[in-house]
Amino acid sequence: MPKPTSPPEDFHLFRQEVGDAVPLAPVNKTEPGPPRVKPLPLQRLKDEQQALIDCLSDPWEILEQTETGEELFFVRPGVPAASLRKLKRGGWGIQAELDLHGLRSDEARVALAEFLLQCARNDRRCVRIVHGKGLRSKNREPVLKHKLRHWLIQREDVLAFCQARLADGGSGAAIVLLKSNLR
């Protein structure tokens, strides 16, 4: 569409009206910077990588280095012994629970990894994991209890764990203290 042309007298009238107008001073404007890059969910990626490692590895050498008695406990180096004592006495409120009863080892390992990942996302510090006493397993041994010990020791987000008090499940459950997500 062609541009409409205005008569020359309109142009002169316009110039007369705005002739003594002063242009506004430029405002301190900045040029827009480059578009922001979406943040990478580094912690989630790290957690998912740890879950994959947990699901794929099951070396028994670590178990041989830990205690062989019935009581289940562990404290990571650098964590005060008082934290383990407080955990054993029920001094931490249990914020979440996972029941592994009836699961096979590979199912239990995946369930544990997913549960701990969810706990980290929701900043759950103290959790109970019910592994059972092994009364219905072959040789009446607590298979998941021994595997749980191994799986928890592998996880960097686990600070300490111990056998639950009788009121919380006794030798069929573990109380786990996890790192705070707010660090």
Tens of pLDDT, residue by residue over 78-114, are 888 888 888 888 888 999 999 998 888 889 999 999 9
Host H or E run for residue 107: helix 105-121
Q: What local confidence, expressed as pLDDT, does residue 2 receive?
A: 58
What CA–CA distance (Å, rounded) separates 78 from 66?
17
Least confident of 12-26, 44-58, 156-170: 44-58
Six-digit token string for 158: 């686990």
Residue 158 is predicted with a pLDDT of 92
Question: What's the fold here for domain 42-178?
Answer: Ribosomal Protein S8; Chain: A, domain 1 (3.30.1370)
pLDDT of residue 101: 83
Most confident of 22-26, 52-56, 69-73, 149-153: 149-153
User: Where are the domains positioned within the chain?
Assistant: 42-178
pLDDT in tens, 33-87: 888 888 878 887 787 777 666 555 554 434 333 444 456 889 999 888 888 888 8
pLDDT of 129 reads 93
Higher per-residue confidence, 5 vs 47: 47
Q: State residue 64's pLDDT score.
A: 37
What is the pLDDT, as a whole number, of residue 159? 93
Mean pLDDT of the region 145-172? 89
Concatenated DSSP letters of 109-176: HHHHHHHHHHHHHTT--EEEEE----TTSGGG--HHHHHHHHHHHH-TTEEEEEEPPGGGTGGGEEEE
Q: What is the mean pLDDT of residues 21-35?
A: 79
Biggest CA-to-CA distance, the chain: 108
The residues, any chain, with a CB within 8 Å of residue 127's CB and separated by 6 or more, are: 94, 95, 96, 97, 98, 115, 119, 175, 176, 178
pLDDT, tens only, 164-177: 888 888 888 899 99
The span from the CA of 43 to the CA of 79, in Å, is 22
Is residue 145 predicted with pLDDT exceeding 90?
Answer: no
